[in-house]
Amino acid sequence: MLKEGEKIYDVFVAGGGINGLGVARDAAGRGYSVCLCEMNDFASGTSSNSTKLIHGGLRYLEHYKFRLVQESLKEREVLLKMAPHIIWPMRFVLPHSKGMRPAWLLRLGLALYDHLGFRKILPGTSSVNLNNGVLESTLKSKYKFGYEYSDCWVDDSRLVILNAVDAAKNGAKLQNYTKVTKVTKSDGIWLITTTDSIDNTQNTIKAKCFINASGPWVDDVLQESFSNKNTKNVRLVRGSHIVVNKLYDHDKSFICQNDDGRIFFLIPYEDKFTLIGTTDIDHGRSASEVEISEEEKQYICDSANAYLNSEIKLSDIVWSYSGVRPLYDDGASKAQEATRDYVIKAEEHDSSLMINIFGGKITTYRRLSEAILKHIETFLGQRGGPWTDNSSLPGGDIDVDGLFDLNNKIQEKYPFLNEEIVKRLVRSYGTVSFDIFPSAKNIESLGESFGSGLYEKEVVYLVQNEWARTSEDILFRRSKLGLSLTKNEKQKLDQFLEKYQKLSKTSESSVKQDNIAETV
């Protein structure tokens, strides 16, 4: 029997974003042994800083990316059925006025968008009167008509975490806050040295296949761990967003065109806010140094103010975030023209397989994973065929229209929870909500309160089942409660986590994990 240090995994994945965890889930579900390491938290990079859309990319049609658009459109309903608790249909309003792309071109593009999508659930395009009904007070009066079409909203970081949970259920070993620091090879086996990002302890992992899914850091891994100097495969393009208090009461989003030809979105966000973005500029710095600039904030405000009846100012921004897209460097002159498609480069070295992933978008992560598995199957032999297209992510084993019934069931089981908490549970955990408070009888049994409906039981669940280690992991990736908690409440959560983790380390041999929370 091999010791842990001697175990040879079939597949090692570097990177815990949507692509890396999508590959890990798919591979583990087919019976391969999988180990994945992420240097920070899962979904802490690009995968939690998107515009939160599962979409075909309407604007990509202008660049003749028909294959990418069609693949993305087909995936919308696959992913919607896979996780209807964190993905749901959304209608997008495209206002039109003089000086924009001509109306005939928009109609043609939207007709093509509908045709390529093979829709069965989502409704198609329709014309809309912007000076009537719920839309009347949102935009300036000069926007009199437009078009309305369908795409989907997604809680992007929850999508990543649920792929991680399912990968672990299928046997994958997952480690966040664990950085790949060196990779060598011996007798056809990859020897991967990893370093804990918090306590600096090191470990060596052995694997037959190495998957570099490091996103913006893909070239860094090649340069630092493989000593491939002067490697440059990705173009880092920064996309920034701002969040303001809710600008309108209806549930529709807007896709708008700037004078410079770029588009941006206005999207209802977390019930109380509106999300606006994105920018699309060359980053020019390290992938670890990502922050929205004052110029970007002003650009987004000016863009929105060209459409909105109500004016927003920099002082109205309650939160902002930026992410860098690791686009494959295809030599495009402008950032917005660089390909959004993924590029896979697989190489065999002395009976070992290495695959580098460049680019990609959250909508096509599952298809990218299947493409990676074809290479793995060719190299290791087939264990099981494609399976994720008809699967459910944890908590998503309900019908697409089943959220209302699930909401009622949770409210019936936990009548002491208010409507806001129940809605958040449904949209975060789906049917898994019943596992978080399994035997709770009243609000007191949920333990310490940290504000905004976050209680000790849920925090402990996230630490034990979803790899949460810091308050930011919980407040901005496992949830978006960081938008509503006060500074004192966040400090209270920090103190709880610090004490809980200390007790966990000292009690592992004598106290069951389920009982540790009772002593905090």
Q: DSSP per residue over 56-78, as a string? A: --GGGGGGT-HHHHHHHHHHHHH
Give the pLDDT score at 519. Answer: 46
The architecture in CATH of the region 4-46+158-233+340-390 reads: 3-Layer(bba) Sandwich (3.50)
* CATH number belonging to domain 403-519: 1.10.8.870
Distance between CA 333 and CA 283 in Å, rounded? 14
The architecture in CATH of the region 78-153+235-325 reads: 2-Layer Sandwich (3.30)
- Per-residue pLDDT of 278-320, as tens digits, reads 999 999 888 889 999 999 999 999 999 999 999 999 999 999 9
Distance between CA 360 and CA 369 in Å, rounded? 11
Start and end residues for every CATH 1.10.8.870 domain found in the chain: 403-519
Give the pLDDT score at 336. Answer: 59
The whole model's pTM is what? 0.94
Low-confidence stretches of the chain (pLDDT < 70) are: 1-5, 63, 230, 330-339, 507-520
CA angle 479, 485, 489 (to 5 degrees): 115
Give the pLDDT score at 108. Answer: 87
Task: Give me the amino acid identity at 335.
Answer: A
Q: Classify residue 15 as left (phi > 0), alpha (psi -120 to 50) or beta.
A: left
- Per-residue pLDDT of 217-258, as tens digits, reads 999 999 988 877 767 888 999 999 999 999 999 999 999 988
Residue 36: enclosing H or E segment and its boundaries?
A: strand 34-37
> What Cα–Cα distance (Å) separates residue 495 from each residue in 34, 388, 480, 499, 504?
34, 40, 19, 6, 14
Distance of alpha carbon 365 from the chain centroid: 10
Start and end residues for every CATH 3.50.50.60 domain found in the chain: 4-46+158-233+340-390
Pairing relationship of beta strands 449-451 and 145-154 according to DSSP bridges: unpaired
Give the pLDDT score at 60. Answer: 80
Start and end residues for every CATH 3.30.9.10 domain found in the chain: 78-153+235-325
Give the pLDDT score at 1. Answer: 37
Give the pLDDT score at 2. Answer: 43
Give the pLDDT score at 415. Answer: 97
